[in-house]
A and B are shown apart, each in its own frame.
Chain A
Amino acid sequence: QAAKREKFGVDSRHESSTRVKFKPSDEKFRWKMTMPWSKGLLFYDIAVHFCDSVRLATAGRLDIKPFSAGEIVPAMQTFDAVSKGSVQVGHDWAGYWKGKDEGFVPLGDMPFGLDSEGYNIWLYERGGLELAQELYGNFNLQVLPCGQTGQDMGIFSNKRATKMDDFKGMKVRTVGWYMDILNRLGAAATPMPGGEIYLALERGVLDGAEFSAPAITYPMGFDDITKYVLSPGVHQPGSQCYVFFNKDAWNELPEDLQEIVKICAKETQLWSYNWIQNLNSQAMAKLTEKVEIVQMDPETLIEFNNVSQKYINEIKEKNPNAKKIIESQEAFKKDFENWRNARANVTPWSHETYATGRTN
């Protein structure tokens, strides 16, 4: 006998929200936000968008003034300054805090990690946000997802590389886990500091460098000095940003402001994705005037994936927080495969493209 069928889902917030006792307050807060972004990066605009949303929605009761990298503290000191409460709010890409805990990397994205859709589902529906809060909470921080920029471009390079052999000995500028993975694949990856990259790439000190999504990368002018982009950006399929608050500051906020902040962070998550993806296609049109997009062949991709997984498994063994987060993401990927499979082959290509047999 079949089990009784019930309505399949529940909005878990609904019940508590009907019982809430309103205690409106007109207390005013003037806070500062610091971040790793300089003003030329679209990430800066995402952080500013959040501040604007909050100011608009609270009628100025919570006024967060954004400061770009270096205005209050250097880019990489964002986390420490907010953790100590010297600045109330920070914006980030979580992977920057790898030195505090390797678990931050999968929160921000890792090689062959989650894409945009994956992060949204995992964070909001699969307990990802709770795991993020646990980790940030260890450092006296309150965190919310706040910005999703999708997949990064591949490696800008003067060397055409599609096969594993082509990558051997290639001098590529990247950082973090991807650097280790590239080195294991036989490349010669180097973490050259930011200010040196352009000239190094132009002069051939480097063979290649990766940066970010197309719209964010376009201003760098890498297309002026390289011929190819070795795609896809396997190192970051969906960069996830967060806004975080010093917990003592957060606890001072009245409940209604806290609620508005949460909604504004979610609004920024939605807006940023649409904004960046639409800009990406415009940027690609310009970039491809100068560079050729080169796709790695499937065997190479599988090799990249194998080596990445092995590396990530080693990380899991070393760091329990990273293990917990990665395994939660892996479980999601696995569970989601049935639907991913069933819905496949209707990728919304234009009719002309689909007609050529490009179904997925």
Chain B
Amino acid sequence: MRSIIAAIDSFNEKIGQLNSLLVLPLVGVVVYEIIMRYLFNAPTVWGFEMTMFIYGVHYMLGLALTENREGHVKVEILTSRFSKKGQAWFNIIGYALLFFPVFGMMAYAAVAYAWTSIGLLEVNNTSWAPPIWPVKSLMALGFVMLFLQGLNTFLKNIQMLREIRQ
């Protein structure tokens, strides 16, 4: 089990960390658009779309990393009073009941959504008309990664219960 946990963690962390650098080209594209429009009177046809897609991919591929680092905000008014064991049980039940069915389906639906797009080799409905099937595929990847990371949270809590027992 440890090795599964470690593998998922390291996969999601690596992709997440690399992906975090996307914010730099994001700034770059926006600034380039301002310069081209204001100084050269030549706005691009692709700047706004490119910006949205970079940001879209940026946060989609970061959802799992954020889950790994417990960055998704929660209200621990009740749970902070529980014992370590209680908290672990709480998370195990919570993730089994709420997270798995919903984000399992979500990952599946996102893959199906991307699959339809790939089948069409879909392009955007704009003048620039870039292919959007790769972006939709990355959205699907983001949800698959998030699902795996949730699975990891679940496994980590089971692991913790075992350790408490020993």
Query: A interface vs B, CB < 8 Å?
Result: 76, 80, 84, 96-100, 169, 171, 175-177, 179-180, 183, 188-193, 205
A84, A100, A188, A189, most chain B CB atoms within 10 A: A188
Inter-subunit contact B125/A100 (CB<8 Å)? yes
15 extra A-B contacts, CB within 8 A, seeds A99-B123, A192-B48: A80-B116, A97-B125, A98-B129, A100-B122, A169-B41, A175-B127, A179-B127, A188-B43, A189-B43, A190-B44, A190-B47, A191-B48, A191-B126, A191-B127, A205-B37
What A residues does B45 contact at CB under 8 A?
A: 179-180, 183, 189-191
Residues of B within 8 A of A84 (CB): 116
- Of all chain B residues, the one with the shortest Cβ separation from A97 is B125
In the assembled complex, which residues on chain B have CB atoms less than 8 Å from the CB atom of A80? Answer: 116
B158 within 8 A of A: no
Whether B48 contacts A99 by the Cβ 8 Å rule is no
Q: In the bound complex, what is the Cα–Cα distance between A76 and B49 (angstroms)?
A: 14
Contact call B127/A180, Cβ cutoff below 8 A: yes
- Contact check, B48 vs A188: say whether CB atoms are below 8 A apart: no
Q: A96 CA to B126 CA in the complex, in Å?
A: 8
Contact among A188, A191, A205 for B49, CB-based, below 8 A: A191
Task: Tell me whether A171 and B43 are in contact in the complex, defined as CB-CB below 8 angstroms, given that A191-B48, A191-B49 are known contacts.
Answer: yes
Q: Once bound together, how far apart are the Cα atoms of A97 and B41, in whole Å?
A: 30
Q: A192 to B129, alpha carbons, bound, how many Å? A: 15
Q: A171-B43, A191-B45 are in contact. Are A99 and B127 (CB under 8 A)?
A: no
- Min CB–CB distance A205 → chain B (angstroms): 7
Distance in Å: Cβ of B34 to nearest Cβ of chain A: 9
Task: Report the separation of the CA atoms of residues A52 and B116 in the bound assembly, to the nearest whole angstrom.
Answer: 33
User: Could you name 7 residue pairs across A and B whose Cβ atoms are closer than 8 Å?
Assistant: A99-B126, A100-B125, A188-B43, A190-B47, A190-B48, A191-B126, A193-B48
Q: Mark B120-159 against chain A: 1 for CB-CB distance below 8 A, else 0.
A: 1011111111001000000000000000000000000000
Q: Which of B38, B41, B132 has the most CB of A within 10 A?
A: B41
B125 cross-chain contacts in A, Cβ below 8 A: 76, 96-100
Tell whether B93 is near chain A: CB-to-CB under 8 Å: no
Measured between beta carbons, the chain A residues less than 8 angstroms from B31 are none
Chain B contacts of A171 at CB under 8 A? 37, 41, 43
B124 touches A99 (CB 8 A): yes
B27 contacts partner chain A, Cβ-Cβ < 8 Å:
no
Interface residues on B, range: 20 to 34
On whether the beta carbons of B132 and A99 are closer than 8 Å, the reply is yes
CA distance A183 to B132 in the complex (A): 24
Query: Inter-chain contact count A-B, CB under 8 Å?
Result: 54
Per the bound structure, the CA–CA distance linking A128 and B144 in Å amounts to 44
The smallest C-beta distance from B143 to any residue of chain A, in angstroms, reads: 17
Contact with A along B99-135 (1 / 0, CB 8 A): 0000000000000000010001011111111001000
In the complex, chain B residues whose CB is within 8 Å of the CB of A177 = 127
B42 on the A face (CB < 8 A): yes
Interchain CA distance A239-B38 in the complex, whole Å: 33
Closest to A79 in B: B125
CA distance A315 to B20 in the complex (A): 39
> How many Å lie between the Cα of A84 and that of B109 in the bound state?
12
- Alpha-carbon gap, A205 to B48, bound state (A): 14
| Docked CA distance A192–B125 (Å) | 14
Q: How far is the CB of B114 from chain A (nearest CB, A)?
A: 12
> Which residues between 24 and 56 of chain B lie within 8 Å of chain A, taking CB atoms?
37-38, 41-45, 47-49
Chain B's closest residue to A174 (CB) is: B127
**Which has the most chain B C-beta neighbours within 10 Å: A84, A177, A191, A192?**
A191
Residues on the A chain within 8 Å of B122, using CB: 99-100
CB nearest neighbor in A for B46: A191
State whether B42 touches A188 (Cβ < 8 A).
yes
How distant is B120 from chain A, measured CB to nearest CB, in Å? 7
Residues of B within 8 A of A193 (CB): 48
Docked complex Cα distance between A171 and B37 (Å): 8
* Residues of A contacting B129 in the complex (Cβ-Cβ under 8 angstroms): 98-99
Q: In the complex, which residue of chain A has the Cβ closest to the Cβ of B120?
A: A100
**Which residue of chain A has the shortest Cβ distance to B131 in the bound complex?**
A99
Specify the chain A residue showing the minimal Cβ separation from B40.
Answer: A188
Q: Which residue of B lies closest to A95 (CB)?
A: B125
Given contacts A188-B42, A190-B43, A191-B49, whether A176 and B127 have CB atoms under 8 Å apart is yes
